[in-house]
Amino acid sequence: MSLSHPYHSFFTTLSDGKIINVDTAYMQEVLAQNQGLNYQERLDNFRKWVGLQVEDMAYLVDQLEDNQLESMINQPIDKDTIFLAGHSLGGAAALEIGRQEPQLFKGIVSLEAPFFGDIISADENQFNFIEEEYPLPVLQIYSDALWDKLPELGDSEYHTNVKLLDANQDKFINYHVTDVGHLGLTDLRVSSPFLTNLIDGNINSKDYEDVLDEINNQIFKFLEDKS
């Protein structure tokens, strides 16, 4: 099942048909990419941005534990083969919940998301991170927006991502989709290819259906291997 985050998604259609558009102040803040802020201010923003999405996912996890989710979506759920997935902040939320309650899940699919939940504090000149290995298998899918820069980002919010580049490659899988940007990994290209390319800096040159097939093939293989 999929989950939309009102005011964080570009638009969300509610059950009554009402459409909630993205909060423009939030979007401007995210696109500013924390420029000019110190480490504590950056961490405060990370927690604010991902906090709502963690709460949304945590609500569904609570319903799953209370055996209420099946009736909510009107279909059976195999609680022994649950995976979480998300893109960007949604992926960061999935990774954070996976670390908090690993016993509930088989693995995480993350599309170009940092491990915000692994940052435990910030000093004047650095973030401080959880050192324990991430407890679940992770498929991390990257675009051209981050892949080549990633090895140099070990002191940033991507610290855990960098660590996992050289970790157990059976448990932690890193896959690079070429010729697409950060939003090019999503279905925004279907509804608004102009906006996607504008934000991504016009690097989405690969056909979207080919991108979707490539991503799906990696995800299906991961789910099959880790179930």
| Residue-level pLDDT at 1 | 62
Banded pLDDT at 7 (limits 50, 70, 90)? low
Number of neighbours of residue 223 by Cβ within 10 angstroms:
16
What is the rounded average pLDDT for all residues in the chain?
A: 89
pTM score, whole prediction? 0.88
* Domains in the chain: ranges and CATH: 11-226 (3.40.50)
* Average pLDDT over every residue of 21-48: 81
pLDDT range class, residue 143, cuts 50, 70, 90: very high
Instruction: List the 83-87 sheet strands across, edge first.
Output: 83-87, 107-111, 138-142, 172-176
pLDDT, tens digit (0-9, with 9 covering 90-100), for 9-31: 767 787 788 888 777 777 777 76
CA separation for the pair 51, 48 (Å, rounded): 5
Q: Among 66-75, 128-137, 171-180, which is the least confidently predicted range?
A: 66-75
